[in-house]
Amino acid sequence: MTTKKKSYFEELEKNFGRLSFGDLLKALREVEGITQAEFAKKLGFSVQNLCDIEKGRRVPSPVRAASIAKKLKLPVKAMIEFSLRDTLESEGFKYNVSLEESA
């Protein structure tokens, strides 16, 4: 019998409900107590682009999600999963996404 260890993000969603990529970025920004302008600069975005992501009007590509993860020192795999899930959801698909490294 194996038990799967829940990721940090799964625990967050267990406590706060389904999060989007934008929800997660906004929460991280607010925890740091910084403005969108400061956070956008940290990520190398325009303020408008960050605002669009936070509001769910844009979903970062997996490549951009990985870049964001690295800049914020977050798990790359989890951030890509959020990006893919949001992309699928924007197209009307209600799937969870779980990535596995290939050999």
pTM (predicted TM-score): 0.85
Domains of the chain: 8-90 (1.10.260.40)
| Residue 68 tokens, joined | 């964001």
Confidence bin at 14 (pLDDT 50/70/90): confident
- Give the residue carrying structure tokens 């698909």: 93
Treating both helix axes as pointing N-terminal to C-terminal, what angle do 21-32 and 36-43 enclose, rounded to 10 degrees? 110
21-32 per-position pLDDT tens digit: 999 999 999 999
- Strand (E) or helix (H) holding 26: helix 21-32
41-99 per-position pLDDT tens digit: 999 999 999 999 999 999 999 999 999 999 999 999 999 999 999 999 999 999 888 88
